[in-house]
Structure 1
Amino acid sequence: MYKTADDSRIQISELMLPSFANFGGKIHGGYILGLMDQIAFACASKHSRSYCVTASVNKVDFLNPIEVGELVTMKASVNYVGKSSMVVGIRVESENIQTGLKKHCNSSYFTMVAVDKLGKTVTVPGLILTTKMDAKRFIKSIIRRESDAKRSKDLEGLYKNVEDHLEQLKDYRVKIDFK
């Protein structure tokens, strides 16, 4: 069975209230991450027709602050599918509802895994790529996964031979004081 990205695409909007703000008057990043996790769950569950859990979040850069009173819109789509996993791409925008000015606040990629009631992984439908953008997103997800796997492997070696890398620390604000 296969589905298109459009079959599970989701968009939500929410007005940002003062109770979501930090002491600086900006919306808490953690609150936004929580909303992103919810939309990733909804999108992945809609695609798989299964309960889904968050396996990982690939890099979240907060590009622009979100102000109290702005309307935040999140757009999510399945960009990649494996056997039981899906990469859900999320774009977060805020809009000043008085001026109409929109800002791109962040984009991120959530890896979600479909599971049954016992927590065992289940096979998800494949993805039908209907546009060049769909294909681009799928290919970028593959590259991101391969890059993450390589980086993890490279870092594993570092833990075994940390002494070989101590010279690299001379240009950083760090003092080595091993006991």
Structure 2
Amino acid sequence: MEAKPCSESRAVKTTLVLPPNTNNHGTLFGGELLAHIDDVASIAAIKHARQLVVTASTDSVDFLSPVTVGQSITIEAFVTWTHHTSMEIFVKVVVENLMTGEEKVCNTAFLTFVAVNEEGRPVPVAPVYPETENEKRLYNSAPKRAQQRKERRKRSKEFAKEFGL
């Protein structure tokens, strides 16, 4: 398979935060933001693989600042690294005060997706290559994150076995 640039998978979504999307503090529900993140990341994965995809993992998601009613969030995602059938997706969330134009990054996350066929079986994906300095930094640090995910998954399986029914 021919390698593709990270930029080819880029997906962007902007949405307005309304009262039904918020908690009793008037801030965006964390789960609501996670749903947006998964949505945009899956689009980036599909654009790269041109296949169906499934979410394999979501790394630590840190909420760096609150998002309040009337602000917008812009979620940007792209493939940073690939393995045989999996893709690491970087997601950046920017909150904007629409009245002042002030913007800041309120969240970043890494997700892993696996390309699958119609029967749900993993299928190979094309390699990806970085072009910008930020893409290169993410690409070069991806193997370490992949190893951390592998170790975390092993621990999760052990917990599931220990606490399973």
Instruction: Tell me which residue corresponds to 1:143.
Output: 144
C-alpha distance in 1, partners of 2:85/2:153?
A: 21
Unpaired segments ≥5 residues, structure 1: 160-179
Instruction: Tell me which residue corresponds to 1:57.
Output: 58
Instruction: Tell me which residue corresponds to 1:43.
Output: 44
Instruction: Tell me which residue corresponds to 1:119.
Output: 120
Instruction: Tell me which residue corresponds to 2:105.
Output: 104
Q: Which amino acid aligns with 2:17?
A: M
Q: Which amino acid aligns with 1:54?
A: T
Do residues 86 (structure 1) and 81 (structure 2) align?
A: no
Unpaired segments ≥5 residues, structure 2: 160-165
C-alpha distance in 2, partners of 1:52/1:151?
A: 21
Higher relative contact order (CA 8 A, sep 6+): 2
C-alpha distance in 2, partners of 1:135/1:103?
A: 22
Cα displacement (A) at 1:150: 4.3
Q: Give the number of equivalent residue pairs.
A: 157
C-alpha distance in 2, partners of 1:93/1:9?
A: 15
Cα displacement (A) at 1:152: 5.8
Instruction: Tell me which residue corresponds to 2:162.
Output: none
**Could you state the TM-score of these two structures normalised by the residue count of structure 2?**
0.89
Q: Deviations over 1:70-116 (max 9, x none)?
A: 01001101011011100000000100000111121110001000001
C-alpha distance in 1, partners of 2:132/2:24?
A: 44
Do residues 69 (structure 1) and 74 (structure 2) align?
A: no
Give me the identity figure in percent. Answer: 33
C-alpha distance in 2, partners of 1:152/1:46?
A: 26
Instruction: Tell me which residue corresponds to 1:10.
Output: 11
Cα displacement (A) at 1:144: 1.2
C-alpha distance in 1, partners of 2:133/2:104?
A: 25
C-alpha distance in 1, partners of 2:119/2:152?
A: 32
C-alpha distance in 2, partners of 1:125/1:149?
A: 21
C-alpha distance in 2, partners of 1:131/1:25?
A: 37
Q: Which amino acid aligns with 1:25?
A: G
Larger Rg: 1
